Amino acid sequence: MKKNKVLIINGPNLHLLGKREVNIYGKMSLKELEKAIRKEAKKYNLNVDLFQSNSEGEIVNKITSGKKWDILIINPAAYTHTSIAIRDAILGVSIPTIEVHLSNIYSRESFRKKSLISDIAIGVIAGFGPRSYILALEAAKFYLHAKKDK
Ligand code: DQA
């Protein structure tokens, strides 16, 4: 059976996971998180492409590179709240998108309550720490399956 391709993007400062504000983001490093994602993706028979960048332009370049993915799971990190460029890139290639956050952005500072991605996403998963990504993979599988049956 053909594997669906999932692009998973982590935005700025997420390379610091495990060291950065551990009271909010937890102790798991990005490497450990990526390992857990790969393991879970295998279960769901999904092919994952993992990408982290601190640069808005690199994230835009990745999304618009011309490579075809069936779905995008993205934690745009601080760019969630500022990046029209990432929003436009997602719209530009019409890729179904799931927005993910480790923390519940709606229970934090008011500037984090506004996302420029949420309204163009299929859905948003926030507040479950590293498990947010695992839930997003499940959501991706569910979405791709439902699409196939249409
Ligand atoms: C974050 C929340 C953002 O507000 C913040 O800038 C991040 C991480 C999260 O995963 O909870 O860098 O996206």
User: 128, 104 in Cβ contact below 8 A?
Assistant: no
What is the pLDDT at residue 113?
Answer: 97
User: 76, 90 in Cβ contact below 8 A?
Assistant: no
Ligand 1 center–CA 102 separation, angstroms: 7
Total domains in the fold of the chain: 1
pTM of the model: 0.97
56: its two tokens: 């808005």
* Domain with 51 in it: 4-149
Scanning the structure block, which residue is given the tokens 């460029």? 85
What is the pLDDT at residue 39?
Answer: 98
Q: Which residues pair with 8 in a beta bridge?
A: 50, 73
Ligand 1 and 132: CB distance under 6 A? no
Q: How many CB atoms lie within 10 A of CB 126?
A: 21
What is the pLDDT at residue 130?
Answer: 97
Ligand 1 and 103: CB distance under 6 A? yes
Please list the alpha-helical segments (H only) found in the chain: 22-25, 30-43, 56-63, 84-93, 131-148
Q: What is the mean pLDDT of each run of 10 residues along the chain (150 residues)?
A: 93 97 96 98 96 98 97 98 98 98 97 98 98 98 85
Ligand 1 and 105: CB distance under 6 A? yes
What is the pLDDT at residue 21?
Answer: 96
Residue whose Cα lies nearest atom 3 of ligand 1: it is 77
Residue type, 39: K
In three-state secondary structure terms, 70 is: coil
Residue type, 114: K
What is the pLDDT at residue 150?
Answer: 66
Ligand 1 center–CA 108 separation, angstroms: 10
Ligand 1 and 15: CB distance under 6 A? no
Tell me the per-residue pLDDT of 31-72, one tens digit each, with 9 for 90 and over.
999 999 999 999 999 999 999 999 999 999 999 999 999 999
**Mutation choice for ligand 1 from 101, 107, 108, 131, CB with most ligand atoms inside 8 A:** 101
Residue whose Cα lies nearest atom 2 of ligand 1: it is 77
Could you tell me how many residues make up the chain? 150
**Closest atom, ligand 1, to C-alpha of 126:** 11
Query: Where residue 14 sits, what CATH number does that domain have?
Result: 3.40.50.9100
What is the pLDDT at residue 146?
Answer: 87
What is the pLDDT at residue 27?
Answer: 96
